[in-house]
Amino acid sequence: GINAEYMGEQRAYQDAIKLYTKAISLAPDVPIYYCNRATSWFKLNSYKECIEDCRQALKLDPSFVKANIRLTTALCEIGNFGEAAAHIHEAVKNKPNSKELSDELTRVNKIQTLISIGLTAIQSKDFQTARISFGELMNLTSSNKVFLWASSADLAVGVCDRALRWTLQVIKSDQNNIEAYSLRGQALFIRGEFDEGIKHLKAALRLSPDDTNTISTLKKLKKIHQAYVSASESAEARDFSAAVPLFTEAIELAEAPPSSVLTSILHSCRANAYLRIEDYDKCLLDCEIAIKAQDDCRNAWLTRGSALHALGRHEEALTDMKRLTKLYPNDSVITGRYERAIFEIRKSKRPDYYGILGVSRLSSELEIKAAYKQAALEWHPDKHSLDEEDRMRAEAKFKEIGEALEILTDPMKRQLYDEGYDKEAIEERIQAANRAAREHRPRHHH
């Protein structure tokens, strides 16, 4: 419906232009015909034609308020803000009592102030101020220049969605706008769409092969991409020591905004390489940067979990995984990691049965039984009856020694213990195995 409406409006303006053109050919010295045709041109975004008609109307009647305002607005739309300001100043001087003209002068002055604040802010790298100024500007003019300035301010802080929308809008209205292609390419690249980004910069370069800005931007993006591809290939080939410096090269070349998708991609990749070469501290630092950039960076969260487990920080890993299971309720990898965190915590809290008996993990059953005999003699409660406290300690120790013997001399229990299960989990597994065996026993029919 809206599209048909839009087409209808377009057709109506085109028909109006035909009518005014006819009227002008019959009465070429009536200023209002030129002004009305100018309005139709304006609605069709044909600003050059609009400006021409306004000038024609003003030649016939220099004090024509509507034509002065329309001309000023059209000059702003094509980005000729200085010329627009000069024109409206002159018009107000010639007709100081017109409220409409002075309102337009106020609007144009505000536009110039906001442009000045925005561009100064960009130069001093105060991008938030620039974003606010350009945002306000958009309420006063829909000039392509403003949309491109706003896009570059957004990109500087790593925000791509609006920049992608705005640059597309500019390209639709002006297919030869080099800056729009270049900014759109950079936005796609920062969002991690490397090939598309490079493609747009190449399109900008085709429009203007000698544009030095585009040439240097394209060169930079290609270098970052090359370093990233080489780093990923090294990681793929499990040569993580080679991957780290290559990811570092990509990070340093990119100088990506801290909260961009690109920052999160590069740092989470390097974090994984650090994890594989067991440099856990650097791994955690990179995970932190990646998560700060994009708090839903799944890979960085998973890598961080593995590093925390490697450092024995199981409780922290569990806290992370609890949060992730809420974010990704149907993700089997995350569910698995959540269960692993619970398992690691239980494993870290269980007694070290080998240590209790003073034997190695490779000891035979005979050696374990001999060690048990010796420890049981040493910790028998009857030998520790000096005082109540001494006796209680001996009883607890004696019980632990008994548990150690029970677990380490039963092959199945010992295997489960070696896999990381605690006593409670071992009992559960044995019971489950026994139940399964009973259920699968063949039934004899009498």
Write out pLDDT tens, residues 373-431: 999 999 898 888 778 888 899 999 999 999 999 999 999 999 999 988 889 889 999 99
Query: What does the alpha-carbon distance between residue 247 and residue 340 come to, in Å, rounded to a whole number?
Result: 29
- Of 439 and 334, more confident: 334
Query: What does the alpha-carbon distance between residue 197 and residue 147 come to, in Å, rounded to a whole number?
Result: 19
- 97-113 average pLDDT score: 96
- 61-88 average pLDDT score: 96
The whole-angstrom distance between residue 316's C-alpha and the CA centroid of its chain comes to: 24
327-330: list long-range contacts, CB under 8 Å, 24+ apart. Answer: 327/296, 328/298
- 40-56 average pLDDT score: 96
pLDDT at 1: 47
- 66-87 average pLDDT score: 97
Band (8; pLDDT cuts 50, 70, 90)? low
pLDDT at 349: 87
Band (443; pLDDT cuts 50, 70, 90)? low
> Is-contact 64 57, C-beta < 8 A?
yes
CA distances, 70 to each of 24, 84, 418 (Å): 19, 10, 84
The pTM score is 0.79
Write out pLDDT tens, residues 310-350: 999 999 999 999 999 998 989 999 999 999 999 889 888 88
- Mind spelling out the 3-state secondary structure of 4-56? HHHHHHHHHHHHHHHHHHHHHHHCCCCHHHHHHHHHHHHHCCCHHHHHHHHHH
Q: Which of 301, 304, 302 is nearest to 313 (CA)?
A: 304
Q: Tell me the two tokens of residue 7.
A: 């087409």
Band (439; pLDDT cuts 50, 70, 90)? confident
Helical packing angle, 261-276 and 298-310, nearest 10°: 30
DSSP string, 76-98: HHTT-HHHHHHHHHHHHHH-TT-
pLDDT at 148: 97
Query: What does the alpha-carbon distance between residue 336 and residue 315 come to, in Å, rounded to a whole number?
Result: 16
> Is-contact 231 247, C-beta < 8 A?
yes
Query: What does the alpha-carbon distance between residue 196 and residue 249 come to, in Å, rounded to a whole number?
Result: 22
Quick one: how many helices (H) and strands (E) in the chain? 23, 0
CA distances, 301 to each of 160, 255, 290, 297, 305 (Å): 23, 23, 9, 7, 6
Q: Tell me the two tokens of residue 446.
A: 């009498």
Query: What does the alpha-carbon distance between residue 260 and residue 246 come to, in Å, rounded to a whole number?
Result: 20
Write out pLDDT tens, residues 178-215: 999 999 999 999 999 999 999 999 999 999 999 999 99
